[in-house]
Structure 1
Amino acid sequence: MVDLPLHGRCFCGAIRFEAKSEPLQVSWCHCRDCRRQTGAPAVVWAGFPGDLVAWHGAPKDRQSSPGVTRSFCPDCGTPLTYLDSRLPGEIYIHAGLFDEADRLVPDRHAYVTAKLFWLHLDDTLAKYDDDTRHRPDVPHP
């Protein structure tokens, strides 16, 4: 159980947010798209119902692949979110942006087949070859 709400911001503070619910999941992602977006060898996403996250400031959106939109701070460039059209109503926020990041403990790994061979995470979390949340087999718009 995580104390609510959770607070976070971009590097410069122009974008702030508040999550008013428990995360749906907190997952490591090893996919190439997330690595390229952040420059990190892997990222941790915290997913929430989108209507329970309040934003202060205006993130800039960018479609990164069909059906996937990522946002970032237009002032400092901090990567912020991931939206997937196949997961309507859900928003995924980089866990490291939260003031309470130490309370967002990962519970799974996504895209382990793309994991960098030199990255070693000794844990017993579930590992998936692709997504950790079922997405309907519907083409992206």
Structure 2
Amino acid sequence: MTDTMDGGCACGRIRYTARIDDDEAYLCHCRMCQRSSGNVSLAMKNVEQAAVTWTREPDWYASSPIAKRPYCRECGTSLGFQYLTDTTKMDLTVASFDDPSRFTPSSHFGAESIHEAWLDTSGLPRTRSDEYQRLVDRWDEAGAAPPA
């Protein structure tokens, strides 16, 4: 089951098409991913570097002596992770895909840095964006529609 999927940054400056062989993704909890994203984990999809075609080359950040990360310098979207040497693979951030719903988490990486309280949040109250009137009003006042 090989498909192609599109993705990109929030402002649309950086776009990509990736060949996807399966639906598995993973959550990375390592401190580098936490610090680079400002979040407790990053949902990542591992792909072959040769399977990714950029319509515009992303900006790259040397996040450590062993890796670099593609991103958009205009909107700040984190697009992935790539080791500098000895690999044909890279990761793309799941949320940067146009339709991330296809992917299912299959494992955790960087388990030494997991923040357990953030793993199972199924019992927390939920509010839909389109039901939060203050947010709906802001979009209306801006004459725009929220991102789909």
TM-score, normalisation: structure 2: 0.74
Q: Which range moves more in the overlay, 60-69 or 24-33?
A: 24-33
Change (3 A) 1:119 1:15: same
* 1:45 match: 44
> 1:33 and 2:21 equivalent?
no
* 1:108 match: 107
User: Residue 118 of structure 1 aligns to a residue in which SS?
Assistant: helix
1-side partners of 2:19 and 2:7: how far apart? Answer: 12
8 Å CA contact 1:29–1:109 kept in 2: the answer is: yes
- Unpaired segments of 5 or more residues in structure 1? 123-141
What are the equivalent positions in structure 2 for 1:1-141 lying under 5 Å apart?
1=1, 4-23=3-22, 25-85=24-84, 87-121=86-120
- Cα offsets for 1:72-96 (capped at 9, x unmatched): 1021111112001355111101001
1-side partners of 2:90 and 2:46: how far apart? Answer: 6
8 Å CA contact 2:23–2:102 kept in 1: the answer is: no
8 Å CA contact 2:24–2:104 kept in 1: the answer is: no
1-side partners of 2:106 and 2:86: how far apart? Answer: 19
What is the root-mean-square deviation in Å for CA atoms of aligned residues? 2.0
Q: Which has the higher helix share?
A: 2
- Give, as a single letter, the amino acid of the residue that structure 2 aligns with 1:67: I
- Cα offsets for 1:9-64 (capped at 9, x unmatched): 10000000111231595110111111111112111110111111110112111111
User: Residue 106 of structure 1 aligns to a residue in which SS?
Assistant: strand
8 Å CA contact 1:7–1:16 kept in 2: the answer is: yes
Structure with greater Cα Rg: 2
2-side partners of 1:109 and 1:51: how far apart? Answer: 25
TM-score, normalisation: structure 1: 0.77
